[in-house]
Amino acid sequence: MNDLQTKAQKLGIIMPEISSEQINDQIKPVLRQMEEVGIGLNCAGLNNLADKLTIRLKELEGQIYQAVGAEFNISSPIQMAEMLFDRLKLPTTGLKRTKSGVSTAASELSKISSEHIVIALILEYRELSKLISTYLRPLPLLVDENSRLHTTYSMDTSTGRLSSSEPNLQNIPIKGTYGEDIRAAFVASPGCKLIVADYSQIELRIVACLAKDKAMIEAFGRDEDIHAQTAAAIFNINMADVTAAERRVAKAVNFGIVYGQTPYGLSQALGIEVTAAATYIKNYFDLHTGIMDYINDMISAAHTDGYVETIFGTRRYLPNINSSVRYIAEGEERMAINMPVQGTAAEILKLAMIEMSKRLELINDKRKNKGHDCPARMLLTVHDEIVLEAPVEMAEEVGKILKDTMENVIIMCVPIKVSLGIGDNWAKAK
DNA sequence: AACTAGGCT
DNA sequence: GTATAAGCCTAGTTG
């Protein structure tokens, strides 16, 4: 048994004896096959939506010109800032600045949305123009003769995650007014269903385990509402009394913790006072002392060794961790906190894909010569999610196998949970 | 090519 | 005094 195995065992982790290099070797052919298979795209659906949104975009353009009293390039942040802050004299206090001037990012403009009706128009314009120019227009042009879309996966990331490009199928819209419509254009082959399996809070479960955090391990072990538990802790109330708003704050705290978020960052994210954010974080660490120790351990390990690593040994070197420029060093300290968590999640996903690929071969071998037009096969992966397609009559069974594979490819000190969906398209299968 | 913005996990 | 939440990819503007 090697060092990593011993270390993992002390954390209550039972993992396959495989190195990060071996994982990466074995995932490659799986990815190449997924790229070749591709996923069905309903081009007509996207084109129709593009046409509809383009009409709305034109309306908004006219309304913005009228509200401002001038015509300008709405897509130019420079011209936008000039119109809002020089011509209309909207207040800039409290707004972030970029290198070139006052930021016109949506997060900043929404702070002054009550100052002028044009802000709402601009935000809607930006939303539509993003969807049209990045997704609705380009994607239909990229399909093959069978109306299938093929991405390219890369592994040269700093944490071990995969990335996807040309087109990037890991950032297809899902939120907002049109997210569902866009996802619905990603479809299963005829006679097949899409099967979507998502790791539930995988990074939080990993950090609970790596940090040996007692309260969090117990909460996950009892299958409790982790965000409600956090809310109770940071607001000093009973779990039963947690409101929806308090739970939302707690969710943001849980989310931010694996990124090394500061009180300032949390205050920005939630639109609250820095002092309030600081209190929440303090209360959080009072409950989760294991998490606090883990963060400090990772930072000091990075300072000493110059790198951090995942449980399978993927390393990230942090050459500037000892920089005398404080914000440079602090930036790498946050990377030191996050990378072992994000990287371990990536490895678990890859392991599950490798194992599932083997199981799919067995499934398909068994069904050879039975006249099925579409084999059960892996199509996409999005960081904590795997998308498959399988013949309708097999979908339930394949889904169960997928869920089982993902949940048991590694045993951690907290249960690993996977949510499963089956449907004709990517919207319905979620 | 740099910068700004914004889509996803 | 400066910065402040990790990791990606793509599109449009600017010079």
The answer to whether A167 CB sits below 7 Å from nucleic acid chain C is yes
A123: number of Cβ within 10 Å: 15
pLDDT at A371: 61
pLDDT at A153: 98
Distance (Å, whole) CA A315 – CA A160: 9
The answer to whether A304 CB sits below 7 Å from nucleic acid chain B is no
Boundaries of CATH 1.20.1060.10 in chain A? 47-139
Q: How far is the CA of A76 from the C1' of C15 (A)?
A: 14
SS (H, E, C) A225-282: CHHHHHHHHHHCCCHHHCCHHHHHHHHHHHHHHCCCCCHHHHHHHHCCCHHHHHHHHH
Q: Residue A260 carries which side chain, given as an amino acid letter?
A: G
pLDDT at A370: 64
Distance (Å, whole) CA A377 – CA A249: 39
pLDDT at A422: 98
Q: How far is the CA of A226 from the C1' of C3 (A)?
A: 31
Q: How many CA atoms lie within 13 A of A321 on its CB side?
A: 21
pLDDT at A379: 98
Q: How far is the CA of A266 from the C1' of C1 (A)?
A: 22
Distance (Å, whole) CA A366 – CA A79: 63
Q: Using CB atoms within 10 A of its CB, is residue A275 exposed (0-12), middle (13-18) or buried (19+)? A: exposed
pLDDT digits (tens, 9 = 90+) for A234-272: 999 999 999 999 999 999 999 998 899 999 999 988 888
Distance (Å, whole) CA A173 – CA A192: 23
pLDDT at A192: 96
pLDDT at A3: 87
Q: How far is the CA of A136 from the C1' of B8 (A)?
A: 16
Q: Classify residue A394 by its DSSP letter.
A: G
DSSP codes of every residue in A134-175: IIITHHHHT--TTSEE--EEE---SSS--EEESS--SS---S
Domain A3-42+147-203+346-423, second-level architecture: 2-Layer Sandwich (3.30)
pLDDT at A173: 98
Picking from A330, A331, A339, A342, the residue whose alpha carbon sits closest to that of residue A309 is A339
Please name the nucleotide lying closest to A274, CA to C1': C4
Distance (Å, whole) CA A245 – CA A265: 19
Please tell me the CATH superfamily of domain A47-139, with its number.
Taq DNA Polymerase; Chain T, domain 4 (1.20.1060.10)
Distance (Å, whole) CA A263 – CA A251: 15
pLDDT at A178: 98
Boundaries of CATH 1.10.150.20 in chain A? 204-342
The answer to whether A351 CB sits below 7 Å from nucleic acid chain C is no
pLDDT digits (tens, 9 = 90+) for A72-86: 999 999 999 999 999
CA distances from A298 to A101, A295, A306, A313, A317 (A): 36, 5, 11, 14, 13
CA distances from A405 to A36, A209, A286, A394, A401 (A): 23, 20, 36, 16, 6
Identify the segments of chain A with pLDDT beneath 50: none
- CB neighbour list of residue A67: distance below 8 Å, 6 or more residues apart: A116, A117, A118, A121
CATH number of A204-342: 1.10.150.20
User: Which residues in chain A, range 46-75, keep a C-beta under 7 Å from any nucleic strand C atom?
Assistant: 73, 75
pLDDT at A369: 59
Boundaries of CATH 3.30.70.370 in chain A? 3-42+147-203+346-423
Dihedral sign computed on CA atoms, order A37, A39, A42, A43? negative
pLDDT at A103: 95
The answer to whether A384 CB sits below 7 Å from nucleic acid chain B is yes
Grouping H, G, I as helix, E, B as strand and the rest as coil, residue A374 is coil
The answer to whether A161 CB sits below 7 Å from nucleic acid chain C is yes
On strand C, nucleotides with any atom < 7 Å from a protein CB are 1-15
Q: How far is the CA of A98 from the C1' of B6 (A)?
A: 15
SS (H, E, C) A75-131: CCHHHHHHHHHHHCCCCCCCCCECCCCECCCHHHHHHHCCCCCHHHHHHHHHHHHHH
pLDDT at A386: 98
On strand B, nucleotides with any atom < 7 Å from a protein CB are 3-9
pLDDT at A2: 82
